[in-house]
Amino acid sequence: MSEQPLQTLESIVLHNFKCFGHQKINLGKLTLLSGLNGMGKSSVIQSLLLLRQSFQQGLITQGLAVNGDLVRLGTAQDVFFESAEDDTISIGLKLHSKNSVDEWSYQYNSSTDVLDIEAAPDGLNSILVGASDTYFNNDIIFSNLFTDEFQYLQAERIGPRTSFGTSDYLVRQHRQLGPSGEYAIHYLSLFGNELIPNEKLHHEQSSTLTLRNEVEAWLSEISPGTRINISGNPDIDLVSLRFSFVNDGVVGNAFRATNVGFGLTYTLPILVAVLSAKPNSLLLIENPEAHLHPRGQALMGQFLAYAAAAGVQIVVESHSDHVLNGIRLAVHDGKIDPADVQLNYFERRMIEGQTRHTISTPTIDQDGLIDQWPDGFFDEFDKSLERLMTPRS
């Protein structure tokens, strides 16, 4: 399986899924999901997690596993679109290598509150996955969504701790960091001396291409001179993390992560995920700006753009105009082609007397300028400034 080239996603098609009656969501090398709270951004990410989770549990040809390690959505009723005109829920994926959409359809049974398989995607063959027969064609089975070349980091990542857990199964065998980034420190302890797979992400201040040195170099963009100190206690399956800082060429004392603040610990899993990702891998990242100052948020936007330009497919959900501006700066500086950036702005509108969730797609030009600014699209600074400049009555 590992010898096959990874396939990347071009779009998602949702039918009767959560807040969407029917919606197509285009994806790029770097996709930014934005919008007010409750507009459907997380639902898009959850649709991908739901497919992966159902696949991993061997249930995808029987029904959808709405609760699991990646996502917990409650009941089938919680997932089914409340204004649905039929009883079918489906999630479709289109790969860049194909002209058609592979769609999984399930029937919602309100009396039993389950989602049962209605039809496997057309033309798919049954292959053995784990202990069950699962329908996948050769393209889909090697899409980045269903392989180990995948990471999901949720908004609520693990904060500073005196120690962090380990997982031989997830980290050693599947190289996963965990949805909360809870195994990022264990990952670094095991693979920190390996070379990063993508030399295009080499930081000029890193002395080598090892993952640990590259993480430290990029982390120093946020907090200058940062050094990472990891020690393990295999007897109790824990690893500890400390940070030290270089001042005038001298490395200071190592401080517990709990004494340094949230920003570094919260950012660390993102850096590890990106720098360890192979080209065509898929990363789903929620709120990368969390606990970062504005400069750090802008740098994060640039960093994600650099990674996407180097071939890593990234879907990021963010409320930060600084992250957006970091992406725009990367485009302006020629670090990423504007055609590789997909902006999706989620809104809720009244259409023909009904509330509909819709998506606007502003585009960025070569200069980093955006062609349209829908109301609410990262415009709060301008709105606040306009009010401040208006004389009081």
- Inter-residue contact 137 to 98 (CB < 8 Å): no
Using the predicted structure, report yes or no on whether residue 285 has a pLDDT greater than 70.
yes
Confidence label for 376 from pLDDT (cuts 50, 70 and 90):
confident
Mean pLDDT, range 285-311, rounded to an integer? 96
From 192-196, 337-341, 372-376, the region with the lowest mean pLDDT: 372-376
Mean pLDDT, range 262-276, rounded to an integer? 96
Distance between CA atoms of 151 and 135, rounded to whole angstroms? 23
Burial class of residue 175 (count of CB atoms within 10 Å of its CB; 0-12, 13-18, 19+): middle
Q: Please identify which residue in the block is written with the tokens 């860049």.
A: 96
First to last CA, the chain: 69
What's the number of CA atoms in the CB half-sphere (13 Å) around residue 135? Answer: 17
Amino acid at site 253: N
Instruction: Provide φ and ψ at 198, rounded to 5°.
Output: -125, 95
pLDDT given at position 22: 92
pLDDT given at position 124: 36
Mean pLDDT, range 8-15, rounded to an integer? 93
- Inter-residue contact 341 to 364 (CB < 8 Å): yes
Q: Is 308 strand, coil or helix?
A: helix
Max mean pLDDT range (24-33, 133-142, 382-391):
24-33
Instruction: Provide φ and ψ at 44, rounded to 5°.
Output: -65, -50
CB neighbourhood size of 327 (10 A): 29
pLDDT given at position 341: 98
Distance between CA atoms of 379 and 300, rounded to whole angstroms? 20
Residue of 5, 47, 25 lying closest to 139 (CA atoms): 5
Q: Is 281 strand, coil or helix?
A: coil
Q: What is the per-residue pLDDT across 38-97, written as a single tens digit (0 to 9) for each? A: 889 999 999 999 999 998 888 887 778 899 999 999 988 899 998 888 888 889 998 987
Q: What percent of the chain has pLDDT over 90?
A: 64
Task: Give the C-alpha distances (Å, rounded to integers) separating 216 from 211, 271, 279.
Answer: 9, 9, 21
Residue of 40, 9, 15 lying closest to 360 (CA atoms): 40
State the Cα angle at 27 between 26 and 32, rounded to 5°.
105
Distance between CA atoms of 183 and 168, rounded to whole angstroms? 10
Using the predicted structure, report yes or no on whether residue 119 has a pLDDT greater than 70.
no
Distance between CA atoms of 228 and 34, rounded to whole angstroms? 32
6 DSSP 8-state letter: P
Distance between CA atoms of 55 and 104, rounded to whole angstroms? 11
Using the predicted structure, report yes or no on whether residue 168 has a pLDDT greater than 70.
yes
Using the predicted structure, report yes or no on whether residue 118 has a pLDDT greater than 90.
no
Mean pLDDT, range 247-260, rounded to an integer? 88
Domains and their CATH numbers in the chain: 1-149+277-393 (3.40.50), 161-274 (no CATH)
Structure tokens at 117: 């398989």
Residue of 282, 356, 349, 296 lying closest to 326 (CA atoms): 296
Residue of 141, 275, 147, 257 lying closest to 215 (CA atoms): 275
Q: Where are the alpha helices (DSSP H) in the chain?
A: 41-56, 76-79, 138-141, 184-191, 211-222, 262-275, 294-309, 321-332, 380-388
- Inter-residue contact 18 to 43 (CB < 8 Å): yes
CA dihedral 271, 272, 276, 281 (to 10 degrees): -70
Q: What is the per-residue pLDDT across 300-350, written as a single tens digit (0 to 9) for each? A: 999 999 999 999 999 999 999 999 999 999 999 999 999 999 999 999 886
pLDDT given at position 48: 96
Extended beta strands in 154-237, E state = 164-165, 226-233
Distance between CA atoms of 345 and 39, rounded to whole angstroms? 9
Residue of 290, 314, 293 lying closest to 303 (CA atoms): 314
